[in-house]
Chains A and B, each alone.
Chain A
Amino acid sequence: MDQAVVAQDIKRSDLLDMYFYLRLTRSLEDRITALYRQGRIVGGVYTSHGMEAIAVGYASALQPDDVIAPFHRDMGAFLIRGFSPGEIIAQYLGKQAGPTKGKDGNVHMGDLKRGMIGFVSHLADNMPVAAGAALAFKIRGESRVAFAGTGDGGTSRGDFHEAMNFAAVRKLPVVFFCTNNQYAYSTPIRYQMAITDVVERAKAYGMPGEIVDGNDVAAVYLASRRAIAKARSGDGPTFLEFKTMRMHGHSAHDSATYVPRQLLDDWKTKDPIVRAEQLLMQLGYGDESYFHEVGERAKKDVDAGTEFAEQSPLPEGRETLVGVFATEDEVLP
Chain B
Amino acid sequence: MTTATAAQETQTTYVDAISQALDEEMRRDERVFLMGEDIGAYGGAFKVTDGFFKKYGEWRVLDTPLSESGFVGAAIGAAMMGLRPVVEMQFADFISCAFDQITEVAAKNHYRWGAAVPLVIRAPFGGGVHGGPFHSECPEGWFFHSPGLKIVAPSTPYDAKGLLKAAIRDPNPVLYFEHKFLYRRIKAILPQEDYIVPLGKADVKRPGRDMSLITYGAMVHLALEAAEVLQQEGIELEVVDLRTLIPLDKETLYASVRKTSKAIILHEDNKTGGIGAEISALLTEECFDCLDGPILRIAPPDTPVPFSTPLEEFFLPKVSDIVAAARKLAAY
Contacts and interface: CB of A to CB of B under 8 A. Distances in A.
Given A137-B81, A331-B82, A158 B105 contact: no
Contacts of A112: 80, 114-115
27 contacts: A100-B114, A103-B112, A104-B112, A110-B113, A112-B114, A117-B115, A118-B109, A118-B112, A122-B100, A122-B104, A128-B72, A131-B74, A133-B80, A135-B74, A135-B78, A136-B78, A136-B83, A140-B83, A158-B70, A159-B100, A162-B65, A162-B71, A166-B67, A323-B114, A324-B148, A332-B80, A332-B81
Q: Which 4 A-B pairs have the closest CB atoms?
A: A132-B77, A128-B73, A162-B70, A132-B74
Size category of the binding interface on chain A:
35 or more
A129 B105 contact: yes
A163 B70 contact: yes
A135 B77 contact: yes
B111 A118 contact: no
Contacts of B79: 132
A120 B111 contact: no
B70 A165 contact: yes
B78 A111 contact: no
Interface in A157-191: 158-159, 162-163, 165-166, 169-170
Contacts of B116: 326-327, 330-332
Contacts of A127: 73
A165 B114 CA distance: 29
Contacts of A323: 110-111, 114
Contacts of B112: 100, 103-104, 108, 110, 118
Interface in B78-124: 78-83, 85, 100-101, 104-105, 109-118
Contacts of A9: none
Given A120-B105, A136-B83, A326 B171 contact: yes
Contacts of B105: 120, 125-126, 129
A151 B114 CA distance: 25
A109 interface: yes
B171 A328 contact: yes
